[in-house]
Amino acid sequence: MTDAPAKQKKPDSCSFVIFGVTGDLAHRLVFPALYNLAATSLLPDNFCIVGIARQGMTGDALRDSLMKGLREFATRPVDDSIASRLLECVSCFEADPKDPASFDQMKAQLEKLEAARNTGGNRLFYLATPPGAFPTISRQLGRTGLLKEEDNAWRRLVVEKPFGTDLASARTLNGELLKILDEHQIYRIDHYLGKETVQNILVLRFANGMFEPIWNRNHIDHIQITVDEKLGVGHRGSFYDVTGALRDMVPNHLFQLLSLVAMEPPARFDAHAVRSEKAEVLAAIQTQSEADALKNSVRGQYRGGKVGDTEIADYRKTEDVKPDSTTETYAALKLTIDNWRWAGVPFYLRTGKALGIKRTEVAIKFKQAPFAMFRDTPVDRLSQNYLVISIEPTEGITLQFNTKVPGPSINIDGVEMKFRYKDYFKAAPATGYETLIYDCMIGDNILFQRADSVEAGWQAVQPFLDAWKQAGDRDLETYQAGSEGPAQADELLKRDGRSWRKLG
Ligand code: BG6
């Protein structure tokens, strides 16, 4: 069993300025991740956290509220002395994007605090706000000069998802940000890249000699990427009903998985090389016509049902959801990648809410062996050769293959070889944001999305968005909460002579 990770360097002194500090994300993930970094001595020596509230919040009220959040969402037992040292770093300033003067005042306050805390002027602005606020906040930060890199101080902007709602809006947002900042200052977060198992896809492929030679159309039949969730939409109706499963999950989280699995080997393990290869493969996803997009997709909406013991209400009866909503809560797509490695290898993607199981995995299905030798074994008795990268809830890798059943005659059965992270490594549970925040502070943007990949992702899903909008509720399937999703998703593979890996 391997213990703690290799020793990491401490980031430069800096201030960490959070917009949207009163919100769920800041309380549930960002602050608990900062706590975990503090607990492992990975915060800068000179550090301050500034929460920006629109109005009426005192420093004490913010500290109380963050502490309450930490008690609820911490991933490890909270040590009060570490927590209070972290809270001592927290201040609260006011700034409202609708009131430019408030940004000027905030700048003056921040500069004073930075001088007192000796942070060297390095700043990280974290936009944990609803996406509508990204452009206005960035504009004000740009106007006041708060983002200008000068006097050897770095200035960085972290932008949460969703980055745009379609190709046009993502391009506009990139254009806005790039007027104010250089690409190297922008950190577009996708929390999937904070997951160890997701980062491990790169290591599995490129730090082992045996996978890469067979990682192509000659040996791989197809690839399935699944992100199934048990939770319904809950209280997020107003966000979700204008977003839907496709926008919420595919151009970001599922495409992170797809790009890591499908990219070419980068020449170096650095941000430029890795991000270029990821962008390249996303740009190679075939852009489908609207007619093909309809043929190659299934969307569904859940109806009431039970997930385990929990009753989930009909999606259309969810708070803040339109009673005649046509928003999909499930999406399945068939994509192809137009390059030599992947020509003719379908990528099937599926994701949904209120399903019977929580599971995130990438399953690589290898081509069947020619079984002339084992003529007496019915094909369906042979196990399918899958390499399954399990991301959640199990973290590990499984290889399925055929083996001889002990006995005098040759009988064949499928078996599994399993690697589980927890059997080998003792990692403390984490939010997944620790690595991402730490990387922002050390200036490593390898795990962040570059403008070109974000746009390539939207480009690939745009025909589906357009086709579904056109179709309205035509072809909108339904499925019962707690099920495996709409039956039509099975047809998508069945017509190619394939099937999804079963749930559970
Ligand atoms: C978020 C989506 O980005 O990712 C949510 O907005 C989704 O709808 C979540 O539930 C899934 O993340 P994870 O880490 O639980 O797979």
pLDDT digits (tens, 9 = 90+) for 303-340: 999 999 999 999 999 999 999 999 999 999 999 999 99
Query: How many A from CA of 231 to the centre of ligand 1?
Result: 10
Q: Are 329 and 210 in the same domain?
A: yes
User: What pLDDT band is residue 2 in, cutting at 50, 70 and 90?
Assistant: very low
Residue 168 lies in a domain: no
What is the structure's pLDDT at 375?
Answer: 66
Q: Are 42 and 118 in the same domain?
A: yes
pLDDT digits (tens, 9 = 90+) for 337-386: 999 999 999 999 999 999 999 999 999 999 988 766 676 666 666 778 99
Query: 306-344 in b/e burial notation, b at 16+ Cβ within 10 A?
Result: ebeeeebbbbbebeebeeebbbbbbbbbbbbbeeebbee
Q: In this structure, are residues 146 and 123 in contact, taking their beta carbons and an 8 Å threshold? A: yes
Relative to the CA of 252, which ligand 1 atom is closest? Answer: 3
Residue 479 lies in a domain: yes
Q: Tell me which of 436 and 413 has the higher pLDDT.
A: 436
Q: Are 272 and 346 in the same domain?
A: yes
User: What is the residue with the minimal CA distance to atom 9 of ligand 1?
Assistant: 249
Residue 171 lies in a domain: no
Q: Are 243 and 155 in the same domain?
A: no
Q: Are 109 and 223 in the same domain?
A: no
* CATH number where 33 lies: 3.40.50.720
253 is catalytic: yes
Share of the chain above pLDDT 70, in %: 96
Q: Are 210 and 144 in the same domain?
A: no
* CATH number where 238 lies: 3.30.360.10
Query: Range of 119's domain?
Result: 14-160
pLDDT digits (tens, 9 = 90+) for 188-245: 999 999 999 999 999 999 999 999 999 999 999 999 999 999 999 999 999 999 999 9
Q: Is the minimum distance from the CB of 455 to ligand 1 under 6 angstroms?
A: no
Among residues 116, 135, 160, the one where a domain terminates is: 160
Least confident segment among 21-30, 53-62, 134-143, 157-166: 53-62
Q: Are 228 and 148 in the same domain?
A: no
pTM of the model: 0.94
User: What pLDDT band is residue 1 in, cutting at 50, 70 and 90?
Assistant: very low
**Active-site hit among 27, 191, 222, 253:** 253
Q: Is the minimum distance from the CB of 248 to ligand 1 under 6 angstroms?
A: yes
Q: Is the minimum distance from the CB of 229 to ligand 1 under 6 angstroms?
A: yes
Q: How many other C-beta atoms can be found within 10 angstroms of the C-beta atom of residue 20?
A: 21
Residue 303 lies in a domain: yes
- Provide the 3-class DSSP secondary structure of residue 263: coil
Structure tokens at 110: 């921040």
Residue 184 lies in a domain: no
pLDDT digits (tens, 9 = 90+) for 459-491: 999 999 999 999 988 999 999 999 999 999 999
Share of the chain above pLDDT 90, in %: 88
Which of 248, 252, 255, 350 best tests ligand 1's pocket when mutated (most atoms within 8 Å of CB)? 248
Query: How many A from CA of 164 to the centre of ligand 1?
Result: 17
β-strands 123-127, 386-392: how paired? unpaired
How far apart (Å, rounded) are the C-alpha atoms in residues 453 and 383? 36
Query: What letter would DSSP give residue 375?
Result: T
How far apart (Å, rounded) are the C-alpha atoms in residues 159 and 448? 10
For 503, half-sphere exposure in the C-beta direction (CA atoms, 13 angstrom radius) is 17
Q: Are 201 and 344 in the same domain?
A: yes
What is the structure's pLDDT at 473?
Answer: 85
Q: Are 156 and 225 in the same domain?
A: no
How far apart (Å, rounded) are the C-alpha atoms in residues 177 and 273? 23
Q: Are 224 and 102 in the same domain?
A: no
Q: Are 155 and 245 in the same domain?
A: no
Relative to the CA of 191, which ligand 1 atom is closest? Answer: 14
User: What is the residue with the minimal CA distance to atom 14 of ligand 1?
Assistant: 192
* Backbone region of residue 51 per phi and psi (left: phi > 0; alpha: psi in -120 to 50; beta: other values): beta
How far apart (Å, rounded) are the C-alpha atoms in residues 191 and 447? 9
Residue (of 373, 390, 299, 350) closest to 499 by Cα position: 350
Query: How many A from CA of 279 to the centre of ligand 1?
Result: 22
How many domains does the chain fold into? Answer: 2
Q: Are 233 and 326 in the same domain?
A: yes
Q: Is the minimum distance from the CB of 144 to ligand 1 under 6 angstroms?
A: no
How far apart (Å, rounded) are the C-alpha atoms in residues 181 and 195? 27
Relative to the CA of 229, which ligand 1 atom is closest? Answer: 10
